[in-house]
Structure 1
Amino acid sequence: MELVKELVKKAIPSLSSDKMDALMARLVELGVQCEDDMILVEAPDIQDTLPLIQCRRLVKAFQGDSQAAPQFRSPGPTSTPLPQSDDLPPTPPETLPAHTPSAHSPSCEPYSIPWHKMPSKLMDVLGEKKWVKSKERLQMVRIVVDDYLHKHPGRPGRSKLMEIAKNILENRVENIKRTSTPGKRRAEGGEGEVQRKKKSRNSDRYGCVEWDVAVEGTESRAELLSKRNELKSAFKTHDPQRETINDGTNVKVLKEEWPFLFEAAHLFDHASTLLGFSVQNKLAQALSKKEPGINNFLDTKGMKMGEGPEQLICGIVRYFKENPDHLFCKNEDSADAELSLPCTPCILIRGDHLFEIAVDQEVVNDHITSPIVALSYAFCLFYVCNIEYPKEMSLTLEFMQRVFFGINPDRGSKAEMKGKKQHHIPPKLSKLVTELKEFDWHM
């Protein structure tokens, strides 16, 4: 077995002693006695002791796969061996995206990222899922560019650069292992199935004063079922609502035609269908994770703010030197004050726990009691009602869009056009995100 152990070390040089002992114990359990027996070992047999990628490398090494050999050995005395991290393996041939070149030119051939040329320090940082500093990022870019130009002389096009960038991300282990198949769903019976009545337990009734309510009479039951169906159908009107909104209908008419749309539950349901996620839940999760780091960063800039979501947003507004009055309006008690409201969605702060939401200078909801719900509601209105970000608050709103909600389209912007030159991501916003990451804040 010593020869087997030496061959394993050659195949996976960075394998720790603990994993080596566990692997050898597993091989003995499988009945391996010499190196010839390793030809019969398959990747699933040792998957419990090693990551899947390392299992495949080891199996290929013993099967004498000539194509896999360059991935097991250092390409030269000056090259840095690639760490066998579970988070960033070298790009194996089977994980390269399928690509059928339309021509025989080198630029049409698939390109393999030279992970073996990367510095060990960079690979360690990537393996530990830490933020890569700008100096190391530039070094990585130079290595990839030099390697590509050496193999494919000539200037690469934009599409080729995008393909290389996607190749770097898509061949990370966490992306390779990601599956698109949905999780197992609980089996449910059809509506026509006769289901047995569940027998209640004492714990089910515990603390309840009116647990088992009997619906008397068939007529009353039918009426209740009819009301239930009406409530269910109210959530199935997304398409006609979008048709009305996309025709440019103003908010006043929209309130008359779809009065329940501006109730928080219905608006969030509409936005969830429109955007593909729950805005309210996404904002709450993002704030709980990122609010302390942003506040600490703003403190270092001399912008100490109070606690709470609205104070955090005001701090970001202050950093960008924007006007918070286009999102927050305080002490607007009189009805005449609504005439001075912006046309874009804004939050009227009536007290510590009372908020109103207005759009098109029209109050659409006056009974919100949570600042997170108020922020989520106002943000939803920009997308539900097809409204651009006002230029006085565009950077703050786009920061919320990209950092808190994860909405990052490939091109375009929801901000008002300021000039001829447009950036995919505004430089000031990109600078803040970079500074936050350099501040050791995990986005």
Structure 2
Amino acid sequence: MPNWADSFEIPWQKLPEELVQNLERQKRPSARQRREMVRIVVSEMMKICKNPTKHNTTEIAKRMVAKYPKSLQDVIDGDVIGLGYHSLVKQLKSRVENVKRPDTPRIRKRKAASDDNDTDEIPAEQKASVQDTYGCVSWEPKHLPLSETVESQVEKKEEMRKLFKEINYNIDVVKELVKCTYFTQRKDINKGASIQKLCQEWPFLFTEVGMTAHFQELTGVNPMETFLTNVDKKGARLLNFLKCVDAQKHKQVLNALLKLQTERGRSSGCSEELVEMVLLLLAHFGEKEERLFHCIEMTSLPGEVQMENVPPTPCIIVCVTTASTYTTQWNCDQHWSSSKDVSFP
């Protein structure tokens, strides 16, 4: 029954009376009531189909929210988030997976390496095979584009390497070349090629234009447009929460806020609000600034960076006037990403 979800009757009559009253009165159900509703709906779904798909749960969640939008829609401060039913889809899908769990074979996890073992002994292919593909629309393309051949991929790859050495290359040409060679890029990345090798073979992957084009092919999302749009829509609200609510609950956020306030007015390259947002988010998640930002002098060139001092995890190398005050003087227009021995996304 491929279209069973379209005719599925949502069991409103089986829901607890208290929950039904809240729905009819356009009140938000409690977390406990919402979980009970999800359990009942999924139980009825699985009587018809033992393996509901995400499409099925999405259709049913959409109909549930359409019937009681005031009670079930995803809303923050009066604004509808996304399509309004994402959280309910997620709850329904999670419940389906929990019910199916006894019949699902366990995933065999790789044994943790002992302290005496070198992680480099694990084959690169095995490392890549356990990476999470969540959120990707084209993690590993199976076929070359119809207009491409193995030979044309090699030619375009060499063309990109030559363009990279030019000072004023055409950005649109680079974007098109990255898109055309995406199949081969993913092949190298998913085989576990090192960052150093990828940097040599595909240098544009480590520039804004190449990284953005590759990310858009990988996820179907333009990272810069999406980021800037979300900053415009939600940035002020997020910053207000971090300052007024989060700082009162977490000492590290309060300390970061006090430090930013004493140094306010000395940032350059970015708006002060954006700098504050990034640094307060780091404090909220307990991340150390020095693990994300590696500071060098403003006049330094990429080849002058001492890699032995760079953190082993992905970081941003920031050109600053004075390395000791990098927290507010980092320049967003003069930095490049760096990493040592980590997998590319």
- Normalised by the length of structure 2, the TM-score is 0.46
The structure showing larger relative contact order (alpha-carbon pairs under 8 Å, at least 6 residues apart) is: 2
Which structure shows the higher helix fraction? 2
- Normalised by the length of structure 1, the TM-score is 0.37
